[in-house]
Amino acid sequence: MILSIQYLRAVSALMVVWVHARYIIPGIAERLGAPYFGGSAVDLFFIISGFIMVVTTARNEMTPQAFFLLRIVRVVPLYWLATLAVIVCAAFANSSHLEAGYPPIDIAKSLLFVPYASPRGGGAWPILDNGWTLNYEMFFYALFALSIAAPRRVRLPGLAVVLGSLALIGRAFGPFASPVASFYSSALLLDFVTGMILAHGWLRDGSRDWLPLSLFLIVFGFYCIGSLHSRLMIMSGALLIVAGCLNPRICAVQNRTFLELGNASYSIYLIHEFVLDALARPWARLFPLATWASSALFMALALVLCAAAGCLCYRFIELPMTSRLRKLVKDSGDYLRSQTSS
């Protein structure tokens, strides 16, 4: 585990909460202004994913099937639970909503990470809104699993060419009328590429132990993702932040709170909308007119409650569930190997 990357996961998850909380109650965004970080947390998540996949597979050789199965165990169970929770809540809220709003084909596509044109409009949104990023993640994992079957020397270049070509097609011929075509040719795919390249360089040469430079990269990276609106600058800023966090002295920093939040970042990301919805309804009755003070208080409370709920979800749902499934996968693999050898 790279501690600073775990801390950055925590920061990214809380950035997502920060952005979404500003728009859950009318008037808060107007009082506090546009969120400084915008959607740049997604770039951080994707760069980290590309980085971690290269680092973990470089140290532990595995088959494409084993890699993808472990990714399924990591991502799918909690996402399915959260998606089914949305469906159940909608069914209780309106007995006809399940049938009218979530037809079986949409449920199947959402659970299987297949992007589709949402009936709500505006793009390819699954039933659980936050799941759109997981559609990208699973697409990347599937391609990465296929690349593992290739010789090691061509894995990174080959996958980078595929993802880069898709993004180039979107840039050259987009925007497409189909949300699905736009999805698979998004420039966001380049985040995975830059994360993989960063990992390759870090594994080969390590990180320069010059703290001032790393701190400058982090500060300038946050400036880029918050102050400039160019997609290239946001992606570049996110890359600088991740690169700066790889400094050996930053990696050695011990912080139990941020480590717990980093471990729980996936839970925070998936369930924070439930927490915000539950908080927003009574809050709107208590403070019908948003002031600067009430808006700031709501944002602080939203961050604390979403973080706490995510940590509880991780501790009592995500961690036991994924640990049990990993053990089943390991036991099944050991059994198959024993049968093969006998």
Task: Write out pLDDT tens, residues 264-287.
Answer: 999 999 999 999 999 998 999 999
Residues 6+ apart with CB under 8 A from 27: 289, 290, 295
Arithmetic mean of pLDDT, 212-233: 86
Per mean pLDDT, which of 171-175, 203-207, 263-267 is the most reliable? 263-267
pLDDT greater than 60 at residue 100: no
Per the CB < 8 A criterion, the answer to whether 115 and 132 are in contact is yes
Counting the structural domains of the chain, the total is 1
Task: Write out pLDDT tens, residues 52-98.
Answer: 999 999 878 889 999 999 999 999 999 999 999 999 888 776 544 33
Task: Write out pLDDT tens, residues 300-310.
Answer: 999 999 999 99
Per the CB < 8 A criterion, the answer to whether 186 and 193 are in contact is no
> Of how many residues is the chain composed?
342
The Cα–Cα gap between 9 and 48 comes to 8
pLDDT of residue 130: 92
The Cα–Cα gap between 208 and 193 comes to 22
pLDDT of residue 71: 95
DSSP state of 318: I
pLDDT greater than 50 at residue 235: yes
Lowest pLDDT segment from 131-140, 149-158, 291-300, 327-336:
327-336
Lowest pLDDT segment from 86-100, 122-136, 249-263, 304-318:
86-100
pLDDT greater than 90 at residue 103: no
What range does the domain containing 167 cover?
A: 3-341
pLDDT greater than 60 at residue 213: yes
pLDDT greater than 50 at residue 8: yes
The DSSP line for 20-31 is HHTTSSTTHHHH
Arithmetic mean of pLDDT, 140-157: 94
Arithmetic mean of pLDDT, 178-191: 92
The Cα–Cα gap between 118 and 262 comes to 31
